[in-house]
Amino acid sequence: MHDARRITGKLGSLLYGVLQLVADFFVTGVGTDIGKTVIGAALCHQLRAQGQSVRAYKPVISGFDEQTREHSDAAIYLQALGQEISDEAVSDMSPWRYAAPLAPNMAAAAQGQVLDADRVIQWCNDRRNQQGISFFEGAGGVMAPLSDDTTMLDWMKAMDVPVLCVTGDYLGAISHTLTALEILALHNVRLQAVIVNQSGQSHVPIHDTLRAIARHMPQKVPLSVTPYLDNHEKPWQSMPDLTHVLGTDL
């Protein structure tokens, strides 16, 4: 098994007196609407505050509405990166956008299209190893279909970068989390950290959830928790520091 805690960013150049790290991460989750984008955006926001150069990509989006693009996952990342929400910026962030809130292959089919997983993976690999830290977010959970023949797991295996897995605190989250982590371990995916994103609606004590996940997780990696931030328009701005889970000396 990989000891993900030993993964460190490559040293890059100095920018305004700050030593820039070069590292790539994939953001996945145990399911959809679990908080992947909020966690990814929080990391972007926090790393930028530390003077790091940061990039983020959400290549594939389902349930995208051009009329409300300012609320899309792409827009959240753009805001966290301090960039304007323009047509060009959204297209650069998320080239594969589909209206139906379905798995990407199904959403593409609903528009009479076929999603080519090889193109998505190549697009991502072309953007790796750039100056700074880059995040690539998948769609849905670990085993969600990407194309008719591939899943998010295949995408992660093809990129072979450290993975951040986001989960929740809802009833059933422990089983869902351990199942996802077991799949990642069986396929030798480099798990970097697990982040439990609280919903504010769970009756399961968070300490019990954390204890169970920590006891049974197959890869011993950092396990972090984020609070439920009610009435926050931009919750990624108010998250506690998460950069420690990256295993980089920031």
Contacts with 214 (C-beta within 8 Å, 6 or more apart), sequence order: 223
Helices (H), the chain: 36-49, 73-80, 87-93, 104-110, 117-125, 152-159, 173-186, 206-216
| Number of separate helices (H) and strands (E) present in the chain | 8, 9
Q: What is the DSSP string of 140-199?
A: SSTT-BSSSS-BHHHHHHHH---EEEEE--STTHHHHHHHHHHHHHHTT--EEEEEEE--
Hunting for tokens 């889970």 — which residue is that? 245
Mutual angle of helices 73-80 and 36-49, in 10-degree steps: 10
| Pairwise CA distance, residues 165 & 157, whole Å | 14
Hunting for tokens 């070069």 — which residue is that? 22
Residue 102, SS3 per DSSP = coil
The residues that are catalytic are 58
DSSP state of 239: P
| Pairwise CA distance, residues 69 & 97, whole Å | 11
